[in-house]
Structure 1
């Protein structure tokens, strides 16, 4: 059965939204929208939906996106039910859009000069090409992910200095920081944080490094992530926060204290 709207991949969407008159609608939560959104996007939620339906001509080109491409389909169907005839949504959501932008807008990081022999030797020993600090092996694992998984802070730093791409995600949607948390190595985590890694990256299940570290009882990693400003209020695809997943008492107290402080600040700002 065909859908009453069209689903667009990120590259097709990039062309579509350049057309005149397209209304771009972001149905993520206000905080995610405020942090980053597609240029020209407007917020869409259950309350604002009626306003769009009441004001827009039925042939208005609409482009709707959410986090991962699920909620956007619901809203697209709702618009179609109200006889809108030019409705589109984004396959894979804003996560797919960010990946598209990294590929199309931000060139892959390159080493500033020839790769040192010791680093080239390490790359080869780990199954990577000797001359590519951003190559991949199984599960889309990059060299910096491998070094992080090993808890090798010195090699992680060498790779960062050689141009390793800290925005890279493996086949599960995890970045190098997740692997450093697996190793529970504070020094490696610090190298990645100082290098600019995304502390709040959400993988294919919406889980963050803080959620993983809390659920696995990786206390040292939790401490480092909180110091780096990890968002304790983010929720997974199953609607759980890191505090909901916590596995030991130390992490429980840490997360409760930070969550309390964050909510207090939010109340002051409201």
Structure 2
């Protein structure tokens, strides 16, 4: 009888974790894996998978997951063809798992930091998205965006979440907010943009990221200064002059 890839649901992952020597394998891109993955999962691409086929004992239990559950079935079937005896695929992939588990993890994080829901606002205007961005907490920012966090909310100083991502100097986190459509040229109550803040703080990598994303160098704050006027390092100055 031909062996088939066994399908399991998100709530059965803990059962798989009890299997002696079982290995959980994330088939998504490296960038998505680093943004967030299931606990104890190993990331594997083409060359890594080839090594696993050669190096692992054929009785090693394997659980594959991808984005939605299709690629993991295909990859699991290949391992079966190479003689592996116990191969599983996660139904719904990481997307399905995150729908079940990331929401509960996000709820715990929200409660720990004094927020009742995704778009709660503290007395100082701080929102969950701003707070997580200030922490540099990429997985929570990703979960907040998936859960409908508003990008245009402002704190009591008129700053949005991108300002706090620039503060934490988390470039990957900035990418998430920018890809989500946050306003690059939003001005706070002093008329300052994120580019002005980054230039005045000497955050060269942040300045470079903002410029590449299309942030304006021509805007002026309430004191009539541009980001170029406020550059505090030679690198920031050169980056702004070249833009």
DSSP-derived class of the 2:124 partner: helix
Q: How many residues align?
A: 145
Native 8 Å contact 2:103 2:143 kept in 1: no
Partner of residue 208, structure 2: 223
The 4+ residue runs of structure 1 with deviation greater than 4 A are 112-115
Contact 1:215-1:247 at 8 Å conserved across structures = yes
What is the distance in 2 between the residues matched to 1:126 and 1:116? 15
1:138, distance to aligned residue in structure 2 (A)? 3.6
1:167 aligns with 2:152: yes
Whether the aligned pair in 1 keeps the contact of 2:102 and 2:143 (CA below 8 Å) is no
Aligned equivalents of 2:100 and 2:216: distance in 1? 36
Describe how 1:90-105 pairs up with structure 2 within 5 A: none
Report the 3-state secondary structure (helix = DSSP H, G, I; strand = E; otherwise coil) of the residue aligned with 1:139: coil
Q: 1:62-109: CA deviations, max 9, x gaps?
A: xxxxxxxxxxxxxxxxxxxxxxxxxxxxxxxxxxxxxxxxxxxxxxxx
| Kept after mapping to 1: 8 A contact 2:165/2:173 | yes
Task: Verify: 1:125 aligned to 2:97, yes or no.
Answer: no
Alignment check: 8 A CA contact 1:200 1:230 kept:
yes
Note the C-alpha offset of 1:121: 0.2
Query: Per the alignment, in what secondary structure is the counterpart of residue 220 of structure 1?
Result: helix
Alignment correspondent of 2:174: 189
Deviation at 1:114, TM superposition (A): 10
- Counterpart CA distance in 2 for 1:153 and 1:115 is 13
Q: Which has the higher contact order (CA 8 A, sep 6+)?
A: 2
**113 and 139 in structure 1: CA distance in 2 versus 1, 3 angstrom threshold:** farther
Structure 2 unmatched runs, 5+:
1-98
Q: Of residues 119, 140, 161 in structure 2, which corresponds to 1:176?
A: 161
Report the CA distance shift for 1:133/1:215 in structure 2 as closer, same or farther (over 3 A).
same
Question: 2: CA distance between counterparts of 1:197 and 1:113?
Answer: 27
Larger Rg: 2
| Equivalent-residue separation in structure 1 for 2:159 and 2:101 (angstroms) | 28
Q: What is the alpha-carbon distance in structure 1 between the residues aligned to residue 208 and residue 139 of structure 2?
A: 21
Aligned to 1:154: 139
8 Å Cα contact 1:217-1:246 kept in structure 2: yes
Distance 1:140 1:198 in 2: 18
Contact 1:185 1:220 in 2 (8 A): no
Root mean square deviation of aligned Cα? 1.7
Distance 1:223 1:153 in 2: 20
